[in-house]
Structure 1
Amino acid sequence: MTPEQAHAPAPERTGQHGQPGQPGRTAPLTLEEFGEHTGAILANLESVIDGKTEAATLALIVLIAEGHLLVEDVPGVGKTTLAKALATSVGCTVSRIQFTPDLLPSDVTGVSIYNQSDHAFEFKRGAVFANIVIADEINRASPKTQSALLECMEEGQVSVDGTTHPLEPPFIVVATQNPIEMEGTYALPEAQRDRFMARLSMGYPDAAAELSMLHHRETQSPLDRLTAVVDKTRLAELIATARAIYVSRAVESYVVSLVQATRTHPEFRLGASPRGTLHLVRAAKVLAALNGREFVVPDDVNQLVVPVLAHRIVATRRAAGDARGGGTQAIAEALRGIIAATPVPLTRSRSA
């Protein structure tokens, strides 16, 4: 253990949205136990998403880091299947919202209805009251309806008619969307994109994976065979294990340097937010635990910079127009340049 760690106060347990929780409620697992349970979830995901190990791993990271996941790609590549598989793998309450142009905010959050027998208003919960909410094709709904998720995703609560209704943790939104160039879609506002911990693109499967899909799905969907491999208590233990992963001051400074560089980059009109800094550290903790380490190294951070930060950034019109693939590709390339230009700190393990 380093001198810095020896004199450091014990980390305070926090709730899902950064609020202090009750210490001692959930004990962390050993890294071996952590690997066993996360391996079971990954196996579930990979059994229904052929050849998409990286996408499955990122979805698992977001789940354990208590973030929200945005899955973006063209129709038919398995976005909803991944979201359903993630929800099915965990024994929590699940709801699915099909976002359409006529969907109302009250359909998402709930509405107060006058009860004539009691002569009082009664709150009817909306679909958002679940542990895992699948927001399918979220950008097909109007911006007004999309905004109904803002408070839910950040504060874990719903406010209707002046009354606040808390959401039971863990609360995770797994949203899918088609590219905004597709017909009948609305771009997500910056404030909502910033609430997603990570964005991933499924991409088309390779020939071998697509051939395997034909054989495995001739008679039934692989989702029909899927069962929960962890319950809510075990998920809480996985979350507690990830929270306990150590992040040195040097790595924290490295993360801050990367994020601040996005705010002064000439190709970015809007850089990453402080929320992005927090999300990057939380995701890196989970990746370190998945790699069997009790501490975060710069490589953990570097692997997650693009999926965690890119969707929060707005490229300048010139950069988006000049880059091959448009703004998304331009942002990813610029972020890789920032990683290459930022000095990597020397880190030591807990036992050093």
Structure 2
Amino acid sequence: MGIFQSGTFAAMPPSPTLSSPIAISRKRMVLLAFDGVNLLDLVGPLEALQACEDTRAAPTRYETIMASLSGGPILTSSGVPIITVRLSDIEDRAIDTILLGGGSRDGRPIVPPDLVEWIAGWHDRARRIGSICAGAFILAAAGLLEDRRATTHWQWAKQLQAEHPNVRVEPDSLFIQDGPIWTSAGVTAGIDLTLALIEQDYGYRVAIEAARRLVVFMKRSGGQAQFSAPLQFQSRMDGSFSDLHAWIRNNLTADLRVEKLAIQAGMSVRSFSRIYVDRIGHTPAKTVESIRFEAACGLLESREIPLKQVAALAGFGDEQNLRRVFLRRLALTPADYRTRFGAHVRAE
């Protein structure tokens, strides 16, 4: 049987042995695995860290260790085994960061009790700890998310909040840092989280270079939504109001108050407002803002035009309204967003 290790398939080797102590300038990153873990939850961050190492004339920045409680081969959710180091073999070593993948079985997140116990007793010996996807359930079970902001895959967000009411779950975020605890949304958001860790460690340019090597379109901020506004609305099972949403996207500068939307939908204001909330899950005004916000992001990313013009083209009217929405949604000003994600960044 083949195994996945460092991005290649190979014959199954014996359990690995740890290398000799490393230079103090390197940061030791431990990726925790367990039976049923999502492979991409671990391999995505691993490849992001490796992309950081591939930057030109750069010293080796990270030592990465794939570890588990038992050591040896761990079977992932996709059926591909990975070889891991036993956690007890590295407990005497300084660990900078612990990254924990997620997994699910029979419609529920996997929360191994022995791993929860290990994390609860050991986490404070690392500088920071992060989870990808449903790994947030393990951190929550260990008590690490109490009274903290956190996120997970949108599919699991309501369950995480219900099972751990003292966690401030933010279901729309790609990733969140709250002190030394980091959490991310599903699967590929683990790459976004890892790029943010790289930026924290070595700066924006190193993180952007790693993103380029991964052929990531751009390094996304943690506050960006897990999926786009149109995709979110299109995903409704019955396709409710899809024509209206398309009309909104094509008429961003029009009067999009609820009265006008009701006319476009061919309904009374009262019926439209009630049915819309029932089927979509939030008010028409929130939909309009989301679609306008996404349009503004696209303009800031692709065009070097004044912010006043961005606000007008996206339907926000003036620059102050644009700024207010960006601060509320991303904790960034439109100018800061353009600096981080604009076309000039991708062209450098």
Q: The TM-score by the shorter chain falls in which range? A: under 0.3
**Which has the bigger relative contact order, CA under 8 A and spacing at least 6?**
1
Give the TM-score normalised by structure 1. Answer: 0.26
The structure with the larger Rg is 2
Give the TM-score normalised by structure 2. Answer: 0.26
